[in-house]
Every structure is written in structure tokens, then in C-alpha cells.
């Protein structure tokens, strides 16, 4: 009765629901016509039949009939014509029956849990809808003259979308396997945000906006919901979204509102259907993936449990078990095999019994003894067999029976060897007695140990050599008479007694032995006597006592040591746990000893990375014999940091394995002193500002950072206090120091975060601005400093000094500049500011900056220029003015720069002389000029070559050796080499260099003074230097015909040369009137462009221009 009532109640409920859904569908007609926007009755009909199918075929047919009747009656009741009502009974029933039949085909349970379920639902609904649409379209075309395709599309899309969404919602919400998810606060916040986005998008698309093109925007939040939440949430979302789309369309709002009603209905239902397909496909795929991952994890957990169970079973087997592959590699082994230590030898022995890669024959699968090779050959009982399902793999089971086989052999040979063993055992005293205690066996070991012979002791009792007091004490303890029973009281046929006793030798001395007493049992089970085996343990006891005393001393030393000490486990076998520490170590880290033992080694030094802190983690990777020394920081329990010098080593223990020992010396005080010394080394003691060393280091870092792409340039401000000397002169240096400290405080208060203030000495300061966007920003910082520092400052006796001002030079870094060059530029600009009237900030000018940049670039390019062959020589001939012949040539260096073209010596030689490349350049010029002079022919075959020598070359201790080596290597005669020295350098030549020049003159090399008359060196320099030639500077030759002073100086130099016996060469002759004047003054030699252009390196010189003097 109960099932019948329940079936009737279900039929009634579905009939009411279906009627209401028809009424609802009819209520959504657009424009008052017969066109319904939504038809929920299609979904209710399918769900009705799906529910009825669970009660059998007859119940299903009965429900179909009820469905047809309700359809007919509802259509008539809602105003549909009779023919239409009758025909649409067929349409609605066909839709429901076809859809339900496909959904229940070969399926007992209709659910919506994965994409396959949804695909079946789409196919079922699509098939039912298409069949129903064909029938509906036929009627509408014939009876109402409706267009066929539009009618079919409208009916199919409307009924299909409504049915698909409705059935999907019913299937999902009735799924009893769904569980309510646990929502975290973060997930709840995300849901609220997503919900807000969905509401905004759907409100905008279907209420505030009209027009189809942007309707796709609603897919974006829908896809997010599908991918982030379960199918249940997605179906609820689709239900709400579908209702919203239908309601807004009915109200004439949203993207679906177009003039044509059919198109409007089609768009609305297509939107609902598209959302349903997309969202349910994605959400079901997501749910399927979640379930698949869950199943995979369950499978993995089960596999791990099975593996652990299999391993436990294997490890519980008493025999060793191996699994090997066809190549003989061990694939699996149990714990007993791992502990045996002979796995490889067993595998080799097993495979040696058969040909490689052959399968074991059945007759070789039984247990058999195999001798396993190794350091000590072992006998193992071996059994092999192939795996049942994988015959290429073999199982080997074995156990070591060496001892068993040896025991068996020993038993067989016992009778023959017993006597020999007794007498050969000289290290053990073996004494046998009868059951009454009379000695029957007294071996050689007993004779050696006690001093009596066998003949003397046979028939006597062991009491003869035992300590009587010890025997009486043992007898009292056992409650037996003092006699032989004391030794055998606890001995049984199954158990021997091992105990220490004191033997008394024949000479009266005592010896401690470990005595093992066993009972000899006759075949009938009676006692046949006793065997006592005694081993001298006197030395062992002494060693044990010594070890105990040593351990006690170590314990005392460890516990009372003034420095920290702790022992620890090694990481490969443990977690680095501290196993023991002394009180000094506990005090060092501010903890109790028990608290230290609760932490790992690395936790002792669990502090942020500190400069110079090595840490304790390397201790866990040490091995026996390795020593590790380092300094590291430790964190005390109160949070403070202390420093320790650690020395650790690994100690090999015979029992529990190696362990670590670490000694820690407290160096916190030393580290503090080092830090203070480091601060003193890098800071000015008077003001506390950075000193020059620290400033230069930070300038270099700033320059390096400025070289990075997109980085700002660095700026440097050089400050000097104007009229500071008056403070020292008036109030003394003490007050001057106070003023300097005040200035330092003002500078620190005025600079930007990240800037560095430094005192360079005296009243000079500098400020480094590592990131400056422009010169104007740097000028702003400098002006701020200037305004701050010029304020009046208090001095002694409450006086005020208001005459201080600041002169400053501020520069910006350029690519390629160095810290020293940047400081020099700033210093130069500061002095420029002082010369301009003080209390100024000098920023330099662009041309000056460009020149400095060019100089820096050229200096940097000098080294590769020499290596890449960019330097070359040209020669300017020296002419005999009277004969018009070339008598010598001066070698002049040229640089073919890849960026700036051909550079003359005046453009780069000054830079070269201040660089470390000058000696190398000088050697190149000397060797190249001498080699070229040797190759000259014609009139220049015997001509001299003039080579300029810099002051740095003269200061080189190998200068003379280099000249001689160049002459020897090239083969140039010494008298053909002339070394030219600029007059401005003459006063700076050291005595050692003068000695070198004199030595070179003695071998024939000549010395010339270049640019004579411009260096203000005085005539004494000419006398002090070993000279042969004077060269009149070009500026005097230029004014020779126009300036009487130049003529007088030229005449004087010529006269001086004639008086001292020196040759005189006029430089820079460029006009015929200069030539004529020099000839008239009696000048013999000259050079200049009047006689032709510079000559490149060649073997033959062209003839001089003889027309230049006419």
C-alpha cells in the first residue's frame, strides 16, 4: 500500500508542477501572441518521466498517459485552440519520451557528475527537442502558415535551452553524493567578489545595455564560476542567470531586445543555452579532475601501504632474499640481505652456475651449498627460482651456513682434536674434574698460568689454586659449604656459569680470570664431570679500569672546561641533534643544559647572515678525520648575539657510530674590538664622518652602479670652509675641533638618505650623492649645504663666529671615470670657486666635462691600442741648413684611434706619461725607431734617429738596460741614437737617471734637450746634465722675424751652444724668412714643415724640398 501511495503522490506532484510550468510558459508570450519566450514544461516533462522510470515500464507508460492528459487540459485551459492543444500533446510527449529514453538507455542511475554525463544529457535533450520541433513546425507551417525554418529554430532553441537547464539543475540538486564544501574566509571573500562581478556584468548586459555584440562579456564571469566552483554552485548560478535573462527580456531590457520578437526570443534562449553548455562543461570537467586527483592520491596511498607491507614481510623472513634482473643487477633485497654484506658475491656465485641470460632449469632450483668468494669465503645455502609472471627476473634466497658447516665439521673431528686442543690452548687454562671435584685434565695453558705441572695437580681439587677468602664469601652468599660445590652450584647440563675468580699461582701471586664452568653429560644423562675454561683477564680489567678513569677525567674536563663544548649527531643518520654539552656552552648561549639538548646544531646559530659568520650547517656534512674551524654568530636565549670561534671534528666510535665534537671559544669581545677598529679605520675620529678610504670605496661602488643600464649618475661635492683658520688662530685648535664637529653634524642633517658625508682632512669635507638625476639636483644639495654651514657657530665664552662660509665644487660622474678622477675634478672646481671669491659653488662647464671624459676614455684605450697595433711612428727629417741635406730624423708617435681618428702626440702623450702604459709605449717607440733607422738607405744610411724619452722612463731602474738591449737587438750603432729630454723635465731628473745618461754617452749615445728655453730650468741644468744637443723651441722660431726678443733668445742659445760645444737644432721652421734668418745667425741644423711633410716608416727617404728656401 505504501509504494502505491508514494507513486500516486509523485504523479500528483509532477502533474501539478507540469501544469504550473505550462501556465508559466504561456505567461511568457511576447507581444501578446502565441510565441512563448520560455517553456519550462519541457524540463518538467523529462524529469517526470525520469522519476517514473524507477517504478517499472508499466508505471512509466501510465505516467506518459497522465502527462498527455495534463498537457491537453492545460493548453485548453490557457486559451489554446483545440487542434493546437491536441497536436501539442504529441509534441510535448515525444520530447519527454525521446529524451528520457536516451538518458535511461542501459543506465540504472541518471546523474550529472562528469562531462560524459553532460554530453549524454545534451544528446538526449537535443534529440527530443529536434523530434518535437519537427512535429511542431509541421503543424505551424500547415495550420498557421508560419515560416518553417524560423519556427523550427525558435521551438528547438527555446525548448532545448529550457529543458537542458531545467534537467541539469534537477539532476545536480538531487545527487545525494554531494557534500557541502568547507568555505574558508579567503574563499568566502573570493565568492563575494566574484558574486559582485557577476551581478555587475549581468546587470549591465541585461538591464543597462542593449545590443547583441557585447553579450559575450557575460561568459567571462560565468567561466570563472565554472572553473572555480563545483557543478552544484554552477547549476544554481545558471538557474539564477537564466531567470534573470528571461525576466529582463520580457521587460524589454538587455542585449536580447531587438525589434523582431522571434529573433528576441531566439537570442534570449540561445544565450541561456550557450551559458548552460559552457558553464556545465567546464564545471563538470573541473569536478571530474578533482575526483580523479583524489582517486589517484588514494591509489598512491594504497600503493605505499602495500609497499610497506611487502617490505615488512620481506624483512621478517629469516633468510636473505634478492630479486635480480637479467643483467644481474639487484632490483630488491630485504633487510637481512642488506646486513649480510655478501650480496654481490652471492649474485656472482649464483650466475656463475649457469650461462649468462639463461633461465634456471628446474633441477637447479632446490637449496644447495655454494662457496661465495670474498675476503673470507663463506658457505651459503642457496635457492634460486624465476618469478612466475616475469620469468626474466630471478629470486635468490640464501642464508649463511658457514658456521653450521664448520660446526658439523668440528663435531666430526672433535674426538681427534680434543686432546690436542687441550694442550695447544696455551692462552686458556682448561681444567677438567670428575663429579666430585678431583682434577682429571690440566692443560698446558693451566700449567703456564698457575705454575704447577699436570702431574702435580691430577687428583687434587680446584681449591688448591683458588683464593680461600673469595671462596668462603661466595659460599656464604650461596648458602653452601666452602668447597667444590661453590664452583658448580649454578651449573646445569643446559647452562654454564661464567664468573670472575681469583687464582693463586704457585709463587703466591694473584691473577683474575674469567672462568666458564660447563657440565659434561654422559649418554645416560648423568653428570660425567665438569670442564672449566679460565681466561686471564687481569690486563683487560686493568684496561677497563684505566678506560673508566680516562672517561671520568674526560667527563670532568668536559664539564668543567672554561670554553663551550658540545657533542652532536651527524646529519646523514640524524637531525644534527645535540647529545651533550657542558655548562660553559649553556652559559654562552644563555640556556640551561637541558634546553640546549632539546635543539639541533643549526638552531644554535639561527641568526641572520652576518658579515664573516660561517654558520654551523657545515658541521653536519663532515666526515671522520675532517677538521672544521670557523667563526660564527650565536643567538642567546634573550635574543642577543654573541660570537664564537668554533673548532669541530668527527670522532669515530666503535659502538654507536661517529659523532661530532665542537669547541666554542667566546670571541665576542674580540669581535667588538675588531668592529670598533674597523669603524676607526673607515671613519674620521674627530667628527665620526667617513674618512677618505671609506669615501673612495663608496664612490667606486656608486660609479659601478651608475654604469648599469638605466641607472642615475653619481655626484660628488667637495667642500672647504672659508676663513676657518681664523677660528684656530683666535680661539685655539680645541675650539676649532668643536666647530668642525658642529659642521659635521650640520652636513649630516642636510644630506639626503643614502648620501655619504666624509671629512678628508683639516676643514675639507665631501658629500657623495650616489643617485642624482641632474646637475640641478646636485647643485640644490650643494646650495643647501652651503646655506647650512654658513650659519653662525658658537665658540668659547659664549661667543659667536659668523664669518664662516663654504666654497664647493660639485661634479657629476661620467662613463668610464674613476673614483680618483672624480675627486680630483671636484677638488679642482672647489679651488676654482675659492679663486672666484669664495662662498661659491662651482659646477664646471660642459666643455671641461667633455675634455675630462675624453681624457678618461683615451687613458682607458691606451693599453689595447698598443696591443692592437694602433700606434705607429712618423719621422720628421732634420736638415743641414747650409747644405740642404737630411742628416737625421725625429721619431714622432701617432695613434690611429678607432673613434677619433689619427691623433698627434700632443693629444695623448701627457695622458700616457701619467699612466702605467708609458714604459711599454717608450720601449715600443725605441725599438721601432732603432729598427727603422737600421733599414734606412741612401743619404740617410748613416743618419741619426731622435727618440723622445719621458720622465717616467728615466725613473725606470731598467732604463739603461733597455736602451742597450734595443741597440743590440736592432743592430743600430750607438752614435746614431739621440735621446731627447724635454727641458721642463730636466730639473726633475734623479741622480741615478743622470748616471744612466752619462753611461749611455760613454758608449756613443747622444743626449738632447728638447723645447729649450721654455722650461725655466736655468743654465745650471745644462751643466748638470750630460748633453750633446740643444733644440730651440718652436715659439722662438715663430717670432724670430717679428719679435726682437725671440731673435735675441735664439742668438743667445746659438752662442751658448757654440761656447759649450753643443749642436743646436731649430724646431718648427715653416717660412722661408725664418730659414734665411737662421742661416744668417749661423744655425747649422733645423727641422719643420718648410722642408716637407712627415715621413711614414720606410726604407728610403724622399729628397728634401730644395725649392723651399728660395
Q: What is the DSSP string of 279-321?
A: HHHHHHHHHHHHHHHHHHHHHHHHHHHHHHHHHHHHHH-SSEE
- Structure confidence at residue 355 (pLDDT): 40
Give, to the nearest 10 degrees, the angle between helix 775-789 and helix 733-750. 140
**Pairing status of strand 641-651 against strand 627-635:** antiparallel
Choose between 199 and 337: higher pLDDT: 337
Interatomic CA distance for residues 1074 and 1096, integer angstroms: 26
Say which residues have a Cβ less than 8 Å from residue 1022's Cβ, sequence separation at least 6.
1009, 1030, 1056, 1060
Say which residues have a Cβ less than 8 Å from residue 723's Cβ, sequence separation at least 6.
803, 804, 805, 838
Domain 1-177 has CATH 1.10.1760.20: yes
Interatomic CA distance for residues 619 and 604, integer angstroms: 12
Interatomic CA distance for residues 767 and 748, integer angstroms: 9
CATH of 423-536, one of 1.20.210.10, 3.30.43.10, 3.30.450.20, 3.20.20.140: 3.30.450.20
pLDDT at 587 over 80: yes
- Structure confidence at residue 139 (pLDDT): 76
pLDDT at 768 over 80: yes
Nearest-5° Cα angle at 701, 696 to 703: 90
Reported as type and span, the H/E element at residue 358 is: none
The x, y and z cell numbers of residue 743, run together, are 659642521
Class of domain 562-673: alpha beta
Tell me the CATH architecture of domain 683-844.
Answer: 2-Layer Sandwich (3.30)
Give, to the nearest 10 degrees, the angle between helix 819-835 and helix 846-867. 150
Of 674, 791, 800, 778, nearest to 718 (Cα)? 778
933-953 pLDDT, tens digit each: 999 988 888 999 999 998 888
* Phi, psi angle pair for 529, to nearest 5°: 140, -170
* Average pLDDT of span 526-531: 85
Cβ atoms within 10 Å of 869's Cβ, excluding its own: 9
**Which segment of 158-167, 518-527, 912-921 scores lowest on mean pLDDT?**
158-167
- Structure confidence at residue 309 (pLDDT): 79
- Structure confidence at residue 174 (pLDDT): 78
Residue spans of the domains in the chain: they are: 1-177, 179-315, 317-400, 423-536, 562-673, 683-844, 862-1096
Looking at beta carbons, which pairs linking 313-318 to residues 24 or more positions away fall under 8 Å? 318/399
pLDDT at 1102 over 80: no
pLDDT at 610 over 60: no
- Structure confidence at residue 415 (pLDDT): 56
Of 554, 573, 544, nearest to 661 (Cα)? 554
Choose between 985 and 716: higher pLDDT: 716
Q: Is 713 left (phi over 0), alpha (psi -120 to 50) or beta?
A: beta
pLDDT at 259 over 70: no
405-419, 676-690, 869-883 — most confident range: 869-883
**Which segment of 151-155, 159-163, 191-195 scores lowest on mean pLDDT?**
191-195
Do 155 and 134 meet the contact criterion of CB atoms below 8 Å apart? no
- Structure confidence at residue 361 (pLDDT): 40
pLDDT at 825 over 70: yes
Q: What is the pTM of this model?
A: 0.36
CATH number of 317-400: 3.30.450.20
SS (H, E, C) 1021-1087: HHHHCCCCEEEECHHHHHCCCCCHHHHHHHHHHHHHHHHHCCEEEECCCCCHHHHHHHHHHCCCEEC
Choose between 411 and 711: higher pLDDT: 711
- Structure confidence at residue 1019 (pLDDT): 62
- Structure confidence at residue 655 (pLDDT): 61
At 212, the pLDDT band (50, 70, 90 cuts) reads low
* Average pLDDT of span 451-463: 86
118-127, 424-433, 495-504, 922-931 — most confident range: 922-931
Do 563 and 552 meet the contact criterion of CB atoms below 8 Å apart? no
pLDDT at 843 over 70: yes
At 1029, the pLDDT band (50, 70, 90 cuts) reads very high
At 380, the pLDDT band (50, 70, 90 cuts) reads confident
At 1110, the pLDDT band (50, 70, 90 cuts) reads very low
High-pLDDT (> 90) share of the chain, %: 11
- Structure confidence at residue 109 (pLDDT): 76
- Which neighbouring-strand residues pair with 515? 499, 534
Collapsed DSSP state (helix, strand, coil) of residue 342:
coil
At 360, the pLDDT band (50, 70, 90 cuts) reads very low
pLDDT at 688 over 70: yes
Per the prediction, the chain carries an average pLDDT of 80
Burial class (CB in 10 A: 0-12, 13-18, 19+), 644: buried
* Two domains, one topology: 423-536 and 683-844: no
* Average pLDDT of span 635-655: 83
CATH number of 862-1096: 3.20.20.450
Provide the CB-side half-sphere exposure for 876 (13 A, CA): 20
Amino acid at each position: 500500500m505504501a509504494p502505491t501511495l508514494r507513486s500516486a503522490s509523485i504523479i500528483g506532484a509532477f502533474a501539478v508542477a507540469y501544469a504550473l510550468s505550462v501556465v508559466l510558459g504561456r505567461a511568457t508570450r511576447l507581444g501578446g501572441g502565441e510565441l512563448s519566450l520560455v517553456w519550462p514544461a519541457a524540463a518538467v516533462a523529462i524529469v517526470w518521466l525520469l522519476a517514473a522510470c524507477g517504478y517499472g515500464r508499466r508505471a512509466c507508460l501510465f505516467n506518459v498517459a497522465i502527462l498527455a492528459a495534463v498537457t491537453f487540459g492545460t493548453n485548453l485551459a490557457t486559451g489554446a485552440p483545440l487542434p493546437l492543444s491536441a497536436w501539442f500533446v504529441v509534441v510535448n510527449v515525444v520530447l519527454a519520451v525521446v529524451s528520457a529514453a536516451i538518458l535511461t538507455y542501459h543506465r540504472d542511475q541518471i546523474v550529472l557528475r562528469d562531462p560524459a554525463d553532460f554530453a549524454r544529457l545534451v544528446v538526449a535533450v537535443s534529440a527530443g527537442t529536434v523530434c518535437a520541433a519537427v512535429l511542431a513546425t509541421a503543424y505551424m507551417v500547415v495550420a498557421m502558415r508560419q515560416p518553417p525554418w524560423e519556427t523550427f529554430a525558435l521551438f528547438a532553441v527555446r525548448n532545448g535551452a529550457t529543458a537542458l537547464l531545467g534537467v541539469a539543475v534537477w539532476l545536480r540538486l538531487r545527487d545525494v553524493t554531494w557534500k557541502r564544501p568547507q568555505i574558508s574566509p579567503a574563499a568566502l571573500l573570493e565568492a563575494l567578489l566574484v558574486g559582485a562581478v557577476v551581478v555587475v556584468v549581468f546587470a549591465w548586459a541585461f538591464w543597462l545595455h542593449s545590443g547583441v555584440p557585447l553579450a559575450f562579456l557575460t561568459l567571462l564571469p560565468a567561466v570563472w564560476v565554472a572553473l572555480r566552483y563545483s557543478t552544484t554552485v554552477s547549476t544554481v548560478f545558471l538557474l539564477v542567470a537564466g531567470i534573470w535573462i528571461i525576466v529582463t527580456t520580457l521587460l524589454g531590457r538587455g542585449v536580447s531586445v531587438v525589434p523582431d520578437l522571434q529573433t528576441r526570443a531566439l537570442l534570449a534562449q540561445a544565450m541561456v543555452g550557450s551559458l548552460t553548455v559552457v558553464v556545465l562543461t567546464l564545471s563538470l570537467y573541473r569536478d571530474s579532475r578533482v575526483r580523479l586527483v583524489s582517486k589517484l592520491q588514494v591509489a598512491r596511498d594504497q600503493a605505499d601501504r602495500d609497499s610497506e607491507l611487502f617490505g615488512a614481510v620481506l624483512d621478517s623472513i629469516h633468510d636473505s632474499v634478492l630479486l635480480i634482473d637479467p643483467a644481474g643487477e639487484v632490483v630488491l633485497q630485504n633487510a637481512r640481505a642488506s646486513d649480510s654484506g655478501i650480496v654481490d658475491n652471492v649474485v656472482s656465485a649464483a650466475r656463475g652456475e649457469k650461462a649468462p641470460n639463461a633461465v634456471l632449469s628446474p633441477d637447479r632450483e632446490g637449496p644447495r651449498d655454494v662457496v661465495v668468494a670474498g675476503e673470507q669465503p663463506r658457505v651459503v645455502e642457496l635457492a634460486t627460482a624465476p618469478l612466475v609472471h616475469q620469468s626474466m627476473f630471478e629470486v635468490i634466497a640464501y642464508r649463511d651456513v658457514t658456521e653450521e658447516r664448520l660446526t658439523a665439521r668440528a663435531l666430526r673431528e672433535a674426538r681427534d682434536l680434543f686432546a690436542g686442543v687441550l694442550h695447544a690452548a696455551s692462552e686458556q687454562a682448561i681444567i677438567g674434574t670428575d663429579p666430585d671435584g678431583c682434577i682429571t685434565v690440566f692443560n698446558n695453558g693451566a700449567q703456564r698460568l698457575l705454575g704447577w705441572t699436570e702431574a702435580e695437580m691430577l687428583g687434587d681439587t680446584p681449591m688448591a689454586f683458588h683464593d680461600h677468602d673469595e671462596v668462603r664469601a661466595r659460599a656464604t652468599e650461596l648458602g653452601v659449604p666452602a668447597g667444590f660445590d661453590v664452583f658448580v652450584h649454578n651449573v646445569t647440563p643446559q647452562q654454564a656459569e661464567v664468573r670472575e675468580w681469583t687464582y693463586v699461582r704457585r709463587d703466591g701471586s694473584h691473577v683474575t680470570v674469567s672462568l666458564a664452568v660447563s657440565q659434561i653429560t654422559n649418554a645416560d644423562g648423568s653428570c660425567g664431570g665438569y670442564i672449566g675454561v679460565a681466561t686471564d683477564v687481569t690486563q683487560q680489567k686493568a684496561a677497563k679500569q684505566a678506560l673508566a678513569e680516562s672517561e671520568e677525567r674526560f667527563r670532568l674536563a668536559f664539564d668543567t672546561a672554561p670554553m663551550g663544548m658540545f657533542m652532536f649527531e651527524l646529519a646523514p643518520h640524524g637531525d644534527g641533534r645535540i647529545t651533550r654539552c657542558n655548562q660553559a656552552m649553556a652559559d654562552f648561549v644563555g640556556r640551561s643544559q637541558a634546553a640546549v639538548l632539546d635543539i639541533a646544531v643549526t638552531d644554535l646559530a639561527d641568526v641572520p647572515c652576518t658579515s664573516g659568520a660561517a654558520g654551523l650547517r657545515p658541521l653536519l656534512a663532515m666526515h671522520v678525520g675532517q677538521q672544521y674551524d670557523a667563526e660564527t654568530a650565536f643567538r642567546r636565549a634573550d635574543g642577543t648575539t654573541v660570537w664564537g670561534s668554533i673548532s669541530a671534528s668527527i670522532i669515530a666510535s666503535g659502538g654507536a657510530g661517529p659523532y661530532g665534537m665542537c669547541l666554542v671559544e667566546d670571541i665576542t669581545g674580540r669581535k667588538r674590538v675588531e668592529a670598533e677598529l674597523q669603524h676607526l679605520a673607515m671613519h674620521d675620529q674627530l667628527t665620526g664622518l667617513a674618512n677618505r678610504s671609506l669615501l673612495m670605496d663608496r664612490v667606486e661602488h656608486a660609479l659601478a652602479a651608475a654604469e648599469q643600464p638605466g641607472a642615475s649618475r653619481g655626484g660628488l661635492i667637495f667642500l672647504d670652509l672659508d676663513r676657518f683658520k681664523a677660528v684656530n688662530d683666535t680661539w685655539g685648535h680645541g675650539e676649532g675641533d668643536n666647530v668642525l664637529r658642529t659642521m659635521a653634524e650640520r652636513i649630516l642633517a642636510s644630506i639626503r638618505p643614502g648620501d655619504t658625508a666624509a671629512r678628508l682632512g683639516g676643514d675639507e669635507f665631501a658629500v657623495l650623492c650616489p643617485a642624482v638625476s641632474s646637475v640641478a639636483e646636485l647643485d640644490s644639495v650643494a646650495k643647501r649645504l652651503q646655506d647650512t654651514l654658513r650659519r653662525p657657530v658658537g665658540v668659547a665664552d659664549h661667543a659667536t663666529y659668523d664669518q664662516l662660509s663654504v666654497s664647493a665644487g660639485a661634479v657629476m660622474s661620467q662613463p668610464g671615470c674613476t673614483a680618483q678622477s672624480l675627486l680630483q675634478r671636484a677638488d679642482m672646481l672647489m679651488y676654482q670657486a675659492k679663486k672666484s671669491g669664495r662662498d661659491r659653488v662651482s659646477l664646471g662647464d660642459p666643455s671641461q666635462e667633455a675634455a675630462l671624459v675624453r681624457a678618461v676614455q683615451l687613458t682607458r684605450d691606451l693599453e689595447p691600442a698598443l696591443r692592437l697595433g694602433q700606434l705607429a711612428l712618423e719621422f720628421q727629417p732634420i736638415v743641414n741648413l747650409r747644405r740642404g741635406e737630411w742628416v737625421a730624423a725625429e721619431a714622432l708617435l701617432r695613434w690611429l684611434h678607432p673613434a677619433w681618428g689619427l691623433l698627434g702626440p700632443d693629444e695623448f702623450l701627457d695622458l700616457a706619461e701619467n699612466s702605467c702604459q708609458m714604459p711599454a709605449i717608450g720601449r715600443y717607440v725605441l725599438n721601432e725607431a732603432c729598427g727603422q733607422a737600421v733599414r734606412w738607405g741612401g743619404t740617410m744610411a748613416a743618419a741619426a734617429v731622435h727618440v723622445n724619452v719621458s720622465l717616467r722612463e728615466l725613473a725606470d731602474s731598467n732604463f739603461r738596460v733597455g736602451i742597450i738591449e734595443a741597440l743590440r737587438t736592432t743592430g743600430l750603432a750607438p752614435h746614431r741614437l739621440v735621446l731627447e729630454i724635454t727641458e721642463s723635465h730636466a730639473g726633475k731628473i734623479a741622480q741615478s737617471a743622470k748616471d744612466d745618461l752619462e753611461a749611455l754617452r760613454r758608449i756613443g749615445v747622444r743626449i738632447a734637450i728638447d723645447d729649450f728655453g721654455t722650461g725655466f730650468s736655468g743654465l745650471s741644468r745644462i751643466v748638470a746634465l750630460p748633453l750633446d744637443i740643444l733644440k730651440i723651441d718652436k715659439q722662438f722660431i715663430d717670432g724670430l722675424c717679428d719679435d726682437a726678443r725671440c731673435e735675441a733668445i735664439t742668438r743667445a742659445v746659438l752662442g751658448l751652444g757654440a761656447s759649450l760645444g753643443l749642436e743646436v737644432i731649430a724646431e718648427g721652421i715653416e717660412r722661408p724668412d725664418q730659414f734665411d734668418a737662421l742661416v744668417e745667425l749661423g744655425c747649422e741644423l733645423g727641422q719643420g714643415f718648410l722642408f716637407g711633410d712627415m715621413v711614414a716608416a720606410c726604407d728610403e727617404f724622399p729628397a728634401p724640398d730644395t725649392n723651399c728656401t728660395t
